[in-house]
Homo-oligomer: A and B are copies of this chain.
Amino acid sequence: MYRSNTCGELRITDVGKSVTLAGWVQKVRNLGAMTFIDLRDRYGITQIVVNDSSSAQTRETASKIGREYVLQIKGCVIERESKNGKIPTGDIEIQAQEITILNEATLPPFTIEEDSDGGDDLRMKYRYLDLRRPPLQRNLMLRHRMAQEVRRFLDSEGFMEIETPFLIKSTPEGARDFVVPSRMSPNEFYALPQSPQTLKQLLMVAGYDRYFQIVRCFRDEDLRADRQPEFTQIDCEMSFVEQEDVLDIFERWAKHMFKTVMGIEFSNKFLRMPWIEAMEKYGSDKPDMRFGMEFANITSLAKGHSFSVFDDAEYIVGFAAPGCASYSRKQIDALTEFIKRPQVGGRGLVWIRVEESGVKSSIDKFFSAEDVREIASKLGAKAGDMCFIMCGPKFKVLTQLCALRLEVASQLGLRDPKKFAPLWVIDFPMFEWDEETQRFYAMHHPFTSPKPEDVQYLESDPGRVRANAYDFVCNGTEIGGGSIRIHDAKLQALIFKCLGFTPQKAEEQFGFLMNAFKFGAPPHGGLAFGFDRLCSLFGGADSIRDFIAFPKNNAGRDVMLDAPSQIDQSQLDELYLALKEVPQKK
């Protein structure tokens, strides 16, 4: 071993000990008679001092070293004259007796500090250097800790970790598959799994009862911000359970995670909110519950005042922003611009300023002060608040108002990354109507079971049917979701019919799983959590990228490895593949 101790463990009680440390040079300060070296490893930083009590050779070596050199230091732990209260090793330093340069280092292209001076692209290219920075080290340590706690909990609850294959069959539904050409079966392809959904359901058919896996999944989608072509899922499935059982066990799991990893205890049951309530109160199926600003439907109050914008609207809805009565005209204009951006797509913003002295609004021309007060009161506004109101088609305007609510909350500093507001969103609709294709689609997937009491509407009014589906949401982000699956062949056939599948087409696409179900499928259900997302939530960050050791950029490239890249003609030949010319982009 090149060291007796790490750079993070020596304390005042170790004074007098002879030690050997190894690590990287964080900083060298040459003060002439003395040289101070900050030596860094994963565990911390220890100060090394080289002075006239060090040998001539040691002083000579110390004069040659630079940032990120790898050193081995032999010396004695001594008490520092000027202590550094900011680091755990700040009471001591090492009086260097011997310095060995284990490796030299070219000057890194950016600073390796808490905050780096390197741009995104440069840091992605030299990811192995960026990964030396403390914030990234903390992120990956957090991820490690979380992975261990996920497994510890699930193992203790009788879940079995079972590895499912990565080279599987391409499925036409869902997102786009990555495919893998087969050399042994030329002209045929494997697909990389978008999730182990089918396989985990087969494990339930096989009687494994409780399954989990922390597993990589792959989706070849055009990448939006903060999407990765490969991502990690905590994938779980259980047999002989109903929705309540799944929510119960994974609520305990979430509390275990918050407690053991973050030291946060939730004594109450997590909030459970029906999908329709989440939409109507927060304009989102993943409401951020760290703050209020609940919506109220003021359609009936606001109509009939000769304000045609309202009168023509399907739905009029607003919320009160606490303490925002002081917002200037300019601030309001900026918010109006915000909701008019194409990403939000709002038409206009109505405001009501509520003060002790009275109300003032952008619709004073059409509404009496009393009417305005009544609306403000319906929105729950108190003196000092500002109401924001939008109108339009119901779900469209709700979504737009959600964007505004989050924007205002950000401005008010209410989206505190250290605060956590978890909830279950339940009672999702079974089907989503697609305007373009004029048909219903499964909101989760075609194996999701409807609520028994809604089965009666499956044929007459599919839009009314709610599913035994649930999402775990925290701080405005969907962290996970799942459903109770259908295990009854007749019900499954009916659902396929509702989704517009002929029996032939259903057989073609799902026959394999349906066939397995004939041999005794138990009632089962499960869920999956986005592990990258969960890590970034716990880490208090917006982006998942810094919680992944070697992420891809937005073009799906690993710029460090330079992948994807061209392959040899001989490889293509072996696979019986030919490249087709790619049209030049103009």
Contact = CB atoms under 8 A, between A and B. Distances in A.
Report, as a range, how many residues of chain A touch the other chain: 35 or more
A276 interface: no
A163 interface: yes
Given A42-B209, A190-B564, A567-B179, A24 B520 contact: yes
A68 B517 CA distance: 11
Interface string A91-104: 00000000000111
A381 to B, nearest CB: 46
Nearest to A571: B179
A230 B166 contact: yes
Given A1-B242, A189-B567, A571-B179, A519 B129 contact: yes
A324 interface: no
A216 B167 CA distance: 11
A355 interface: no
Interface string A546-586: 00111010011110011111111001001111111110000
Given A3-B240, A518-B106, A563-B169, A41 B207 contact: yes
Given A170-B571, A185-B564, A578-B580, A128 B162 contact: no
B189 A564 contact: yes
Contacts of A258: none
Nearest to A244: B1
A141 B162 CA distance: 9
Interface string A131-162: 11000010011011001100100010000111
A522 interface: yes
A172 interface: yes
Contacts of A147: 161
Contacts of A245: 1
A220 B169 CA distance: 17
Given A188-B564, A189-B564, A166 B216 contact: yes
Contacts of A104: 520
Interface stretch (A198-206, A385-393, A472-480): A198-206
B102 A68 contact: no
A566 B519 contact: no
Contact of A160 (B141, B186, B189, B205): B141
A257 interface: no
A557 B182 CA distance: 10
A390 to B, nearest CB: 37
Contact of A165 (B41, B163, B223, B550): B550
B579 A577 contact: yes
Given A103-B522, A148-B161, A178 B180 contact: yes
A69 interface: yes
A504 to B, nearest CB: 18
Interface in A53-108: 68-70, 102-106, 108
A507 interface: no
A169 B550 CA distance: 13
A70 B522 contact: yes
Nearest to A520: B105
B564 A519 contact: no
Q: Which of A202, A230, A232, A519 has the most CB of B within 10 A?
A: A519
A436 to B, nearest CB: 19
Contacts of A3: 240
Q: Which of A40, A105, A242, A550 has the most CB of B within 10 A?
A: A550
Contacts of A292: none
Nearest to A192: B180
Given A183-B220, A230-B167, A2 B207 contact: no
A582 B186 contact: yes
Nearest to A242: B1
Q: Which of A3, A205, A218 has the most CB of B within 10 A?
A: A205
Contact of A567 (B170, B548, B561): B170
A548 B520 CA distance: 22
Contacts of A205: 128
A210 to B, nearest CB: 8
Contacts of A178: 167, 180
Contacts of A129: 206, 519
B172 A568 contact: yes
A202 B437 CA distance: 49
Contacts of A1: 240-242, 245
Interface of A: 1-3, 22, 24, 40-43, 68-70, 102-106, 108, 126-129, 131-132, 137, 140-141, 143-144, 147-148, 151, 155, 160-170, 172, 176-192, 199, 202-203, 205-209, 216, 218, 220, 222-223, 229-230, 232, 240-242, 245, 487-488, 512, 516-523, 548-550, 552, 555-558, 561-568, 571, 574-582
9 contacts: A24-B520, A70-B520, A102-B522, A105-B519, A151-B151, A167-B563, A168-B558, A169-B561, A202-B550
Closest 5 CB pairs of A and B: A105-B520, A131-B206, A188-B564, A169-B563, A2-B240
Given A2-B523, A140-B162, A144-B161, 6 more contacts: A43-B209, A68-B520, A128-B206, A179-B180, A183-B220, A185-B556
